[in-house]
Amino acid sequence: MSGSAPADASAGALSVDVVPLGGLGEFGLNMMAISCGEATIVIDAGAMFPEPDLPGVDLIVPDLAYLEARRGQVKALVLTHGHEDHIGGVPYVLPLVSGPVYGTPLALALVEPKVEEHGVEHGPGYVPVKPRDVVTVGPFTLEFIRVTHSMPDCVAVAITTPQGVLLHTGDFKIDQTPLDGEAFDLPRFAQLGASGVLALLCDSTNVERRGFTGSEREVEDAFEEIFTATEGRLVVGTFSSSLYRLQILVDLATQFERKVAFVGRGMERNSQIAQKLGHLHLPTGVVIRDSDVPNFPAQDVLCLVTGAQGEPNAALSRIAINDHRHVRLGDRDRVVLSARAIPGNEKAIGRVMNHLARRGVDVITEADKHVHVSGHGSSEELKLLLSLVRPRYMIPIHGEFRQLARHARIAEVVTGGLPEPVTVLMAEDGDIVRFDAQGGRLHDKTPTGRVLIDSTRVGEVNDEVLRDRRHIAADGVVVPVVAINRQTGVVEGVPELLVRGFVTADDPDILGAAAAMLSEVIDGCGVEERTDPGLMQERVRTEVRRFLRKRTGRRPMVLPVVMEI
């Protein structure tokens, strides 16, 4: 079946360019530009968190050079759902968007605090949409279609262009028993397939998993066992945006007569937003503040916390080293990590688990019990969608190259018996995929890459600037050097601060005062924190930056060096 308009109808039509700016060949940074003539729309604006080898970097977003070059022509930003890898870059993209932001109410509500925090005002405004809504943006007609995922209010987008229909799935799995009763709109996907789809841009994240991804409800039995067997406090670490998971846990807490505390900034904020929009139902009297946790018997409390990926500043990491203000754990308490380890985070998660083990805490992961279900469709779901849509072209998106390649092979097998088998276009970030009267092909490349962000408002840090900042930048570089005994956690000698480009002439005593402050702070840390290089580096960096900003008003780049001896 042909997914494009007949040749005589499309011969004079404007060409359409599909340009992935992030999310192809990597997990995160999901962003797709679609251009036709003088109009461009952007699907999602994701971010990702940095690896440990990028000191001073708090966030990574895609290079926006393609959108910069089309400034004034970017007519809309469209959000498929509210996960960080799809909305984390919105504050950085908005200044380049001359039209409104379209998204479901939950996605827009999760974006709002990010935009406010960055002080970005967007005159064209925000337009909430719901499934089956249709909007027109320049030469594009956009239809939003319900899909199921690990959070509510997720949509795919069918984009009618002069060359045909482009169907962008967003993130999805086919959950036939969704917690909110809002089913995946398979009939609409089938209708689109029957009328003809030019290209399917399809999530590839879980293509390597056989069969079907389970429903969110599948974790209920495992958690019911855990609630039954836990004598002390129960702490569950999960993503604050996993609202279905939070609802299941709140319901079980109510059943087992436990109070629920949302611990961590993201958990508190997202639970409030979800409750306001009706996506999280909290029975009266169940929720308590984290500061009230010590006032209740351990067996009567459930803490829902951030930090399941081992982030040094997250609530779970502080709890693990006994450094949280309100939540302290010990024997008979239990921690459940209800999230899949993002590749690259395994070491940090392992450190948190080790610290918890020192507390005498029992730690449960998905390797022990079925406490996590992926939000992405497995191979059989991807096959089902291909069978329904039968596109003329397919562009695998969202995943590393091996996932995209596996998805391509599956597409060729599924459609191999059709009169017109699918043509797979293996694009990567920066490729310009052009659709015109001659069909679809990889046409050209546009500059792409990553922009490293320092959230202290110093601004963007590209690779060259990052190297420069290690030596000298606008406010200079300060390198605190701390030597710590690997076994005892004792600080060897006095911390030393090396500076480059940071002026100290007007305050000659500042480095000595900073070193003394640092010694005092480290002495006040527990042994476990001092023997954990990741946590110690973050503590040193935070304290030195705070001290120098308070004393001088400047914000030098702080690159802590923690040596284990």
Other Cβ atoms less than 10 A from the Cβ of 265: the count is: 13
What six digits make up the tokens of 436? 């015109």
| CA atoms of 105 and 468, how far apart (whole Å) | 42
Which DSSP category does 292 fall into?
G
Decide: helix, strand or coil at residue 431: strand
Distance of CA 494 to the CA centre of its chain: 39
* 149 catalytic residue (yes or no): no
| CA atoms of 464 and 337, how far apart (whole Å) | 38
What's the Cα-to-Cα distance from 122 to each of 77, 118, 119, 163, rounded to whole Å?
11, 12, 10, 31
What six digits make up the tokens of 405? 């390649």
For the stretch 197-231, what's the b/e string if a residue is b when 16 or more beta carbons lie within 10 angstroms of its beta carbon? Answer: bbbbbbbbbbbebeebbbbbebbbebbeebbeebe
31-36/16-22 β-pairing: antiparallel
Residue found by looking up tokens 């479901």 in the block: 104
Closest to 274 in 3D by CA, of 38, 105, 422: 105
Closest to 55 in 3D by CA, of 564, 556, 489: 556
Helix 265-276 with 243-255: angle, nearest 10 deg? 90
Phi-psi region of 213 (alpha: psi -120 to 50; beta: other; left: phi over 0): beta
* 203 catalytic residue (yes or no): yes
The active-site residue out of 203, 333, 362, 475 is: 203
Which DSSP category does 49 fall into?
P
**Residue 394 contacts residue 422 (beta carbons within 8 Å):** yes
Q: Name the burial class of residue 29, with classes exposed (0-12), middle (13-18) and buried (19+) by CB atoms within 10 angstroms of its CB.
A: buried
Decide: helix, strand or coil at residue 187: helix
| CA atoms of 62 and 139, how far apart (whole Å) | 25
The active-site residue out of 149, 279, 355, 376 is: 376
Angle at 396 between CA 395 and CA 398, to 5 degrees: 130
Residues recognised as catalytic: 203, 376
